[in-house]
Amino acid sequence: MNHPARTHARERMWREFLASLVLCGPAVALYAGFIVLPALMGFGYSFTNWTGWTDNPGFVGLANFRELAADTMFRSSVRFTLFETVLLTLFFTFATMFLAVLLDKLRVMKGLVRGMFFYPYILSILVSALLFRYLANYREGAINILLEAIHLDALAQNWMLAREWAPYFVFALVAWSGLGFFTTLYLANLQTIPTDLYEAARIDGAGPLKVFTHVQFPMLLPTITTNSVLALITGINLFPQIVVTTQGAPGYDTFTIGYYIYHLGVLNNRQGYAAAVSFVTFTALVAVAAVQASLLRRRQVAL
């Protein structure tokens, strides 16, 4: 016969295990089955010539990665993605900071004005894309009609698909819809600055500029870190916005890495190669984001 205390302990452990299974089971099963498994499958497919629809992908070793090294289209997608990422990171880190400092100064209509700047963030990507496509349209768009009204017809063009404007069109769209999010993160941080710091600065005779550089900016450093990392991720993962606007045009000018993966995997049945592209870029993104976060954090401590 078992010792009663030991039986009791074993029974408790068993019940504890069952409870964990009931509590954790559904989440773990769904997440492991439909996020982790496809990610691992993708990694496996990067060594094959899988088309996406056949049943038996052939193993090709490192051929996909070798092809990637010489792929000019991949290189131009990387260049465009980095261009957008730099613009967006600068915009979402600095422009939104100045806007937040201004919005923080409001004494009346606070909620209204902040609400306006946040509003585009709650719209679907498709809605903001359609609005911007309208503004940028060559024959019927608001920008060109406005230009015509002030007799600057010469400047009128297809703002979305003209070679020199397409990158800025994509930037404007993403910047417009994301602005509220990044500004709000700064606003939340500004609320945490103790008022006696402002008072001390005032007693020392600091003007608004000095208050910004000596009080607000140093106190905002944690959010500068967060925002720049989030902006970087936003830039590198730029993809649905391209599907609903330029679709990579003009030529292959506005192909982002994400759109290139979609182009290869979904539109052109080259899933094996697409998987190789996604893994190379994903690894690079994780590395860059980690380095950026740790560098900024170290700097933050130093200040």
Question: Where in 143-182 is the site for another protein (CB under 8 A)?
Answer: 145-146, 176, 179, 181
Nearer to another protein, 86 or 123 (CB): 123
Contact residue for another protein among 111, 151, 154, 301 (CB under 8 A): 111
- Helical H runs in 32-165? 37-45, 63-69, 72-90, 96-104, 110-118, 125-136, 142-149
Q: Which regions of 152-245 does DSSP assign to beta strands (E)?
A: none
Cβ closer to another protein: 69 or 109?
109
Q: Are 241 and 129 in contact (CB under 8 A)?
A: yes
- Rounded Cα–Cα distance for residues 229 and 89 (Å): 8
For the segment 20-59, give every residue that binds another protein (CB under 8 A): 20, 22-24, 26-28, 30-31, 33-39, 41-42, 45, 52
At 56, is the secondary structure helix, strand, or coil? coil
Q: Which helix (H) or strand (E) holds 259?
A: helix 257-262
Task: Please tell me whether residue 235 binds another protein under the rule CB under 8 A.
Answer: no
Exactly one of 190, 230, 231, 232 binds another protein (CB under 8 A); that residue is 230
Q: Is 63 in the site for another protein (CB under 8 A)?
A: no
Distance between CA 197 and CA 92 in Å, rounded?
26
Instruction: Give whole-number Cα distances, 109 to 97, 98, 104, 186, in Å.
Output: 20, 18, 11, 19
Q: Which is nearer to another protein, 54 or 300 (CB)?
A: 54
Nearer to another protein, 112 or 302 (CB): 112
Tell me, by CB under 8 A, how many residues bind another protein: 87
The residue range among 71-79, 90-98, 106-114, 155-163 that interacts with another protein, by the rule CB under 8 A, is: 106-114
200 binds another protein (CB under 8 A): no
